[in-house]
Structure 1
Amino acid sequence: MNRPTFPIDALLPQIRASLAEHPRLVLEAPPGAGKTTQVPPALLDEPWLAGQKIVMLEPRRVAARAAAHFMARQRGEVAGDTIGYRIRFDNKVGASTRIEVVTEGILTRMLQDDPMLDGVGVLLFDEFHERHLAADLGLALALDVQAQVRPDLRIVVMSATLDGERLAQFLDAPRLSSAGRSYPVSVAHYPARREEKLEHQTRRAVEHALAQHPGDVLVFLPGQREIARVDALLSPSPTGRGIGERVWRSDGSTSANDFAIPSSGASRHLLPEGEGSEHVDVLQLHGDLPVEQQSRVLQADPDGRRRVVLATNVAESSVTLPGVRVVIDSGLAREPRYDPNSGFARLDVITIAQASADQRAGRAGRVAEGWAYRLWPQSQRLEPQRRPEIAQVELAGLALELAAWGDANLRFVDAPPSGALAAARELLQRLGALDGQAITPLGRRMLALGTHPRLAAMLLAPSTAPERALACDLAALLEARDPLLLRGNRSRSDALAERWQALAAFRSGRVAPDASRSALAALDQASKQWRRRLRLEVAAPSTVPAHALGDLLLHAFPDRIARQHPSDPTRYQLANGRSAKLFDDSALYGEPWIVISELRALRQTQGDRGDAQVLRAAPLDEQRLRVDFPQRFVTEDRVFWDANTRGIAAVRETRFDRIVIESKALAKPDPSRYADALVDAVRQLGLASLPWTPALTQWRARVRCLRMWMPELAQGAATLPELSDAALLASLDGWLKPVLSGKTRLDALSEQELGEALKSHVDWSTRQRIDALAPTRIAVPSGMERSVEYAYDDATDAPVAPVLAVKLQELFGLADTPRIADGRVPLTLHLLSPGGKPLQITQDLRGFWDRTYPEVKKEMKGRYPRHPWPDNPWLAIATHRAKPRGT
């Protein structure tokens, strides 16, 4: 095969030179530049590689396979010789393979199984801009390997649309950019008609493109479902046969695989009346196609026919489709999003980012001038870049990988959200995959399955082959779309058993009227794949006992095991402490125990208890629960705060996790546990439930203000305590619990006891210093002492200026505003009239005397004639009294 030229060729010497000097590199190259297929072979003979392997991460299976085959053909070889690939369920590598193209899960397993990466000299992360979670994890693991044990390992991050400068700074790496191979692309918007479905809008756009422009047409659709619908519209075949291969023939003949485009104006013509007819192939491109069909799409038609390729965003980058001159872009993609209803990341249809839209349009300009039609209104604005998966998916799989690695403090381009990571670890502990922060032997077996930890736990739980086969059915059911169809206004059943029964009926040749044949076929295939992965020789069961599904499902959803409420048969208490309710017509009504695979949080309204809605569940056997999780059944005495009686209550409870199975009142509870219950009450009710006095509130505010005004007092031997709400609530056991000992009610705590508890960790000398630096009263020229008011603003986390409210006459002769905190903080003066009304608020007393006092005197002298209003306040005698009578 003669090697074609690529725009990246001119940059290859710089890439080699950079990697000879630096262990990391950021390479930006637009689609068509050739980075995927030209960079790896260009590095094979580098001295620093020393005969080691090159491993390139390719996010998508189609692209990984295509890239490996293309590079192999360039060398006159086949995949599996010098260049090979490894993807899920397919492996083309041999003893002589030196370039391996792998998908994301494969790379993670390589790193986990051999952190030294023996025999690997460079890792290339292609299409990193897609920001898949596995790619982010792979890069973080690779950086850790490089920093700890393999400083000679090279890491190259490659992308078509990327914030290269930010990434180069993160990696402390050089940044190289390549030109692309592109021609001008005319972009137009082709919006939908009123209430028009996507597939009909797409067909119109395809008809227009074939009639108006030369070349092949590439259509971007969200997923296989939408591809199948558009494909069906472009086909006359009612059976849907021949999907992925349509031929339009000018003679008007049709077959299961053919659709004619004659010159007449029939309603399904793709060319308008009067145009000549031509042969057109319609092909599909997505990750689940057989290899042969994928290969056919990636090569030009041998007979020179035009093609319409219906593709997912797998065609957005990495693979090249020859002959494409027109792109039709739905502006949609299916990407993983965390679904709190199911507990899994689901593939949701989302609007693409502007960077993806630009990249898709660029596909039309690879061989000549092209055209791009966008199926959304021109007024619609897209986000500039796609958000990383790590910020928006459930992180149980990531948390398990980090635990297996043994170090959670890896360097991520975007750190995983702490809340989502904590929730993931809590789930893994329930599943038995983690013991504290450490991975368990079960956790390592779960990790080896390469699926979501919930499913892995369920697949590993059964002890018999028939149960394992049933677990494979359940794994397929949980991962796939619902096989039951909506019928009018009737909602789908909430019984998981009805889905499994529909699957069992399908295997015996029957399809229920409310089930989808295609969905059941996909479920059956997925279950077979799971049985092969688990090396199960048994067939899927045809019948199972009533509780069999729930008895397995509880291992995937231990947090959603639920028991019927004793007083309301439609409500259930969950093991995680929450509650849920059934539909009024639920198929699960009357079941004492269920395990919920899917639920929906309901909007809480006034009087509503905040229950969730059970969407899908299965009954389980309590005896099986006691056998499988004996350690989660506990009986213990509990002393707690009863909000109804506002006092201490004590019961002996039997629980499964947080589900109360039995509760009996205790006549003589342990008095030593009263204080703990009262402390819990304060945590629930807040600090306002304590008997604060104005003086104690002021003392707390003075301490908080001083910590901010004088930072040196927040550290050292005489440290002032942190008295924010958060700090006090976090330390209740230390300062409040001792004074609650022996009490059974919160209102038994006196104001004096609260004050001493709050000040218990402040010694006498520090208290004296507080009084000196933030006095409660201050002497004024009249000889009197007046109160200083303190406040702290929690909203801004800053002190409010302290206030001295004083009658104006009491400050005669005082030039400067009084200060506290060792002179650092001026008081805010509230200057009052003789009647106690505010005349002026100021921190500039000197300015007040000079500028404002004359006007105040003029106005007040007639109103308060018995009080002094001297012309010169600087020389007047300060007083808090009125003038004697007769003066």
Structure 2
Amino acid sequence: MTSDFPSLPIDAVLPALKTALVDGTNAVLQAPPGAGKTTMVPLALRDADWLAGRKIIMLEPRRLAARASARRMAQLLGEQVGETVGYRVRFDSKVSAQTRIEVVTEGILVRQIQDDPELSGIGALIFDEFHERSLDADLGLALALESQAALRDDLRIIVMSATLDGGPVAALMGDCPLISSEGRAFPVQTTYMPPKPREWVETSMVAAIREALATQHGSILAFLPGQGEITRVESQLRPLFSAKDKVIIAPLYGAMDTRAQDLAIQPAPDGHRKIVLATAIAETSLTIDGIRVVVDCGLQRLPRFDPSSGMTRLITVKSSQASAEQRRGRAGRLEPGICYRLWAEAEHRARPQFSPAEIAEADLAPLTLELARWGVADVTSLPWLDVPEAAKIDQARDVLRALDALDDANRITQMGQAMAALPVHPRLAHMMVRGQQLGLADTACAVAALLSDRDFMRSAGADLRLRVEAMARGRAPGMLGEATRQLARRLKQVGKIVCRPADETTDDIDFTDRVGLLVAFAYPDRIGERRRGGEPRYRLSGGRGGVLPKEDGLAPEPWLAVAELDGQSREAKIYLAAPVSQGVLENHFASQIRTGTEVFWDSQNDMVVARWQRRIGALVLEEKPVHDAVDPAKLTQAMVDGVRKMGLSCLNWSKESEHLRTRLAFLHEQDSENWPDMSDAGLLATLETWLAPYVTGIVRRSQLRQVSVAEALMSGIDWNQRQKLDQLAPTHWTVPTGSHVRIDYRPEGPALPVRLQEMFGATETPKIAGGKVAVTLHLLSPAQRPLQVTSDLIGFWQGSYAQVKAEMKGRYPRHYWPDDPLQAEPTRRIKRPKS
């Protein structure tokens, strides 16, 4: 390394890393925060012989970290950003022909690999802060490894992490070398300050900051979950200080403009103290000079995708232990420090060790579109650290097909190619492309920007048109409004490159319908028709319901396109929407209108009905009664759908059918591959197999009383299974008296309730399932009350029987209580036999 570079802990392992990349192509580097990996590793590798003049691309999970690390590397080289070291983030880049190290983020790397799978001119990829497990990082690594295996066996791939267990990553990368740096951190004292019951996080944060200011020196880094909490804490702190206190309060979150973010991470002027109020954006990659006090609220805000509602919403969760350690380490980067944790020490030990990977929690529609663009049919064929869930991929494909991005074979379409080139969610990309085709590019970009950012007019009601109008007139309030306007301008610039010019007429689109139509292009499953009645309740095309406040200006509208609603699965609160006329919908969604006879279950009348309908999704545009004969198979399927909606309780469950179900459930537990699932979920999922033949001709709930559930359940098993059923799971067991006692197949295992006297002389515990499972004996008193529960009959006779006999003999003197139950005759009689 150049002698002018600072001495950092990472220096000790750089020779090992260089050797690993000479001897092989991949390496994993574990180094704690402050070790210097982000800045020193790219600089150390830039002159490697194997690089042969090609570039190093380093992926950072956040834009602020990407710019800061590029600036720091350039500073160490005595250059400006954009010379040897540059960066590319969404809508911003500083690179030149001489740039050898590029720091990228926001899906830039994925786009580079998609556009050039051979990664021409690139010699190494570095995935920094991989422990954050962002979706872009996981996808980027999977594509990079596939490119390396198929096209670029000389490509070097380095994964760097602070807290992640590097073993699985090294195994994924061909059992490559795992190199660890010890790091160098100053000691940090940890103080736990749990809040008072029901105390707001802002209140406890302000109290902790005031305590730190009074008792500690140096600047403070305070972690809060989001912008709202930061703003409220800032408003409570500012009145406490005057200019003479020389205290600078600096918010730091992702929605801030670049200049404001840079001001927050710069060192405080001499003689001043800084209080940085930050989200998790300051957790990794950044060094904020002068910080020796950390105040951590222990919360973070993460996106969570709800597959049942198709919605992604931000939720506030407790941070993991690894995240808390990352934050704590910020206090010991430059000198000994202190960390205040606003929770109890016992609670800390109960927190999860790591935060879940984004791929397990996120909306997978963007990833699925990228995979289709890559040409992947089988998602599991890529080298994943965590394979995406098949159900979530299937749901994402359903969404993309509805957006015309995929064909019926899940191949990417021309529309999908255009959407993938836009730096927004596929829903918004589809809206932008369609808007451009209709000559509504400006409005589409404004709507896309509004739905990509936080709402700057949350108190203005749900009408999205008011926001679009405010942006068009330059009246978008505050810093957030201005940021949204800038994003709209940038999206318009990108859209001009990606989308073809307008080629459709907009003569039928009234000005008041334009925003609504564009929203419908993004969310075809959220077109809403107002239900009958005084309440502004809407039936959505995707099958869900939505509701507006009565006082909202959109409440009288007969049709809405809904852009944002909460995650409630049945009837969600509508936050953002725009009106759209039925005529405009029918014109521009003609390909999605389905016409024909619909046979379905009418939940209101508990019966199957048939109607001729024109519909968009779940919304009926027109319907008429059907007088012609209806396909019996459709009637049966509709009845099955009705049972699925009502639940299994609508069937006529006799004691015989309940007992059969528990026997089959027991066998499924023993051998799930060969015996059917008898759980509610299992039976409901397979109604077409076992119940459908028995509801043929039935169209009303009341007629289900005719169905023999036991017979239907038996139809779900084959002839061989029927022969084995009584052998493996008999209904009764013959006890020593000759009585046939019914076996009770309970969730905890089979049980045989039998009077103790009937088991005299028996030495073996009954066993079923081919002798594999012992039946638990519930030995009963003469009054049929439990005396003993045992799966070891001989042990009971030789052990606790004597105590049971002593207690029962006086209570039931007319019953038989022999001294030696093993030699006694079993009996059903009440009186003691005469000798």
Instruction: Tell me, yes or no, whether TM beats 0.5.
Output: yes
Change in CA separation of 1:857 and 1:817 when aligned onto 2, cut-off 3 Å: farther
Change in CA separation of 1:804 and 1:188 when aligned onto 2, cut-off 3 Å: closer
Residue type at the aligned position of 1:444: Q
The 3-state SS of whatever aligns with 1:442 is helix
Determine the C-alpha separation between the residues in 2 that align with 1:724 and 1:441: 44
Is the CA contact (8 Å cut-off) linking 1:834 and 1:864 kept in structure 2?
A: no
- Of 493, 498, 513, the match for 1:547: 513
- Of 600, 608, 612, the match for 2:566: 600
The 3-state SS of whatever aligns with 1:534 is helix
The match for 2:616 is 656
Residue type at the aligned position of 1:628: H
Determine the C-alpha separation between the residues in 2 that align with 1:583 and 1:206: 43
* RMSD between aligned residues: 4.8
Is the CA contact (8 Å cut-off) linking 1:788 and 1:802 kept in structure 2?
A: no
1:524 equivalent to 2:485? Answer yes
1:389 equivalent to 2:362? Answer no
CA deviation map 1:768-805 (0-9, x unaligned): 443344444455555x4513324142xx6xxx224263
Residue type at the aligned position of 2:114: Q
Is the CA contact (8 Å cut-off) linking 1:62 and 1:286 kept in structure 2?
A: no
Determine the C-alpha separation between the residues in 1 that align with 2:716 and 2:204: 72
The match for 2:666 is 705
Determine the C-alpha separation between the residues in 2 that align with 1:75 and 1:169: 35
Is the CA contact (8 Å cut-off) linking 2:443 and 2:468 kept in structure 1?
A: no
- Of 552, 568, 574, the match for 2:540: 574
Is the CA contact (8 Å cut-off) linking 1:653 and 1:663 kept in structure 2?
A: yes
Is the CA contact (8 Å cut-off) linking 2:599 and 2:609 kept in structure 1?
A: yes
Residue type at the aligned position of 1:582: L
Determine the C-alpha separation between the residues in 1 that align with 2:431 and 2:718: 58
- Of 402, 421, 446, the match for 1:448: 421
The 3-state SS of whatever aligns with 1:454 is helix
Q: How does 1:84-99 map to 2 (within 5 A)?
A: 84-99=86-101
Change in CA separation of 1:864 and 1:395 when aligned onto 2, cut-off 3 Å: same
Determine the C-alpha separation between the residues in 2 that align with 1:201 and 1:151: 54
The match for 1:686 is 647
Q: How does 1:191-230 map to 2 (within 5 A)?
A: 201=206, 208=213, 213=217
Change in CA separation of 1:639 and 1:205 when aligned onto 2, cut-off 3 Å: same
Is the CA contact (8 Å cut-off) linking 2:776 and 2:789 kept in structure 1?
A: yes
CA deviation map 1:326-384 (0-9, x unaligned): 446465887552487997767778776555555455555545x3545758578796655
Change in CA separation of 1:682 and 1:523 when aligned onto 2, cut-off 3 Å: closer
The match for 1:733 is 688
- Of 722, 741, 750, the match for 1:801: 750
Deviation at 1:547, TM superposition (A): 1.5
The match for 2:455 is 482
The 3-state SS of whatever aligns with 2:750 is strand
Deviation at 1:580, TM superposition (A): 1.8
Determine the C-alpha separation between the residues in 1 that align with 2:832 and 2:343: 85
Residue type at the aligned position of 1:138: G
- Of 371, 388, 398, the match for 2:367: 398
> Mean alpha-carbon deviation: is it higher for 26-35 or for 813-822?
813-822
CA deviation map 1:252-272 (0-9, x unaligned): xxxxxxxxxxxxxx971444x
1:318 equivalent to 2:285? Answer yes
Q: How does 1:223-262 map to 2 (within 5 A)?
A: none
Is the CA contact (8 Å cut-off) linking 1:547 and 1:621 kept in structure 2?
A: yes
1:496 equivalent to 2:464? Answer yes
CA deviation map 1:262-308 (0-9, x unaligned): xxxx971444xxxxxx9x9988877788878888888889x978674
Determine the C-alpha separation between the residues in 1 that align with 2:663 and 2:317: 53
TM-score, normalised to structure 1, is 0.77
- Of 111, 114, 119, the match for 1:112: 114
Residue type at the aligned position of 1:112: Q
Deviation at 1:678, TM superposition (A): 2.6
Is the CA contact (8 Å cut-off) linking 2:56 and 2:122 kept in structure 1?
A: yes
Residue type at the aligned position of 2:242: R
TM-score, normalised to structure 2, is 0.81
Determine the C-alpha separation between the residues in 2 that align with 1:833 and 1:202: 66
Determine the C-alpha separation between the residues in 2 that align with 1:421 and 1:28: 31
The 3-state SS of whatever aligns with 1:661 is strand
Is the CA contact (8 Å cut-off) linking 2:113 and 2:144 kept in structure 1?
A: yes
Is the CA contact (8 Å cut-off) linking 1:297 and 1:309 kept in structure 2?
A: no
- Of 382, 385, 400, the match for 1:428: 400
Determine the C-alpha separation between the residues in 2 that align with 1:855 and 1:225: 68
Change in CA separation of 1:616 and 1:42 when aligned onto 2, cut-off 3 Å: closer
Deviation at 1:522, TM superposition (A): 3.1
The 3-state SS of whatever aligns with 2:743 is strand
Bigger radius of gyration, 1 or 2? Answer: 1
The match for 1:558 is 524
Structure 2's unaligned 5+ residue stretches are none
The match for 1:268 is 242
> Mean alpha-carbon deviation: is it higher for 496-505 or for 685-694?
685-694
Change in CA separation of 1:882 and 1:353 when aligned onto 2, cut-off 3 Å: closer
CA deviation map 1:502-546 (0-9, x unaligned): 3334x3xxx5xxx734444333323222222223999xx9x9822
> Mean alpha-carbon deviation: is it higher for 166-175 or for 376-385?
376-385
Deviation at 1:452, TM superposition (A): 1.3
- Of 123, 126, 129, the match for 1:124: 126
Change in CA separation of 1:885 and 1:550 when aligned onto 2, cut-off 3 Å: closer
Determine the C-alpha separation between the residues in 2 that align with 1:752 and 1:224: 59
Change in CA separation of 1:785 and 1:30 when aligned onto 2, cut-off 3 Å: closer
Change in CA separation of 1:229 and 1:466 when aligned onto 2, cut-off 3 Å: farther
The 3-state SS of whatever aligns with 1:434 is coil
- Percent identity over the alignment is 39
Determine the C-alpha separation between the residues in 1 that align with 2:643 and 2:345: 53
Determine the C-alpha separation between the residues in 1 that align with 2:70 and 2:256: 17
Determine the C-alpha separation between the residues in 1 that align with 2:340 and 2:783: 75
More helix by share: 2
Change in CA separation of 1:320 and 1:613 when aligned onto 2, cut-off 3 Å: closer
Paired residues in the alignment total: 811
Deviation at 1:657, TM superposition (A): 0.6
Change in CA separation of 1:779 and 1:49 when aligned onto 2, cut-off 3 Å: same
The match for 1:23 is 25
The 3-state SS of whatever aligns with 2:624 is strand
Q: How does 1:282-431 map to 2 (within 5 A)?
A: 308=274, 310=276, 312=278, 316-320=283-287, 324=290, 326-327=292-293, 329=295, 331=297, 336-338=302-304, 355-356=322-323, 358-360=325-327, 362-363=329-330, 365-367=332-334, 369-372=335-338, 374=340, 376=342, 383=351, 385-405=354-374, 406=376, 407-409=378-380, 410-416=382-388, 421-431=393-403
Deviation at 1:741, TM superposition (A): 2.7
The match for 1:251 is none
Determine the C-alpha separation between the residues in 2 that align with 1:470 and 1:679: 45
Deviation at 1:596, TM superposition (A): 1.4
Residue type at the aligned position of 2:638: A
Residue type at the aligned position of 1:401: E
Determine the C-alpha separation between the residues in 2 that align with 1:649 and 1:691: 22
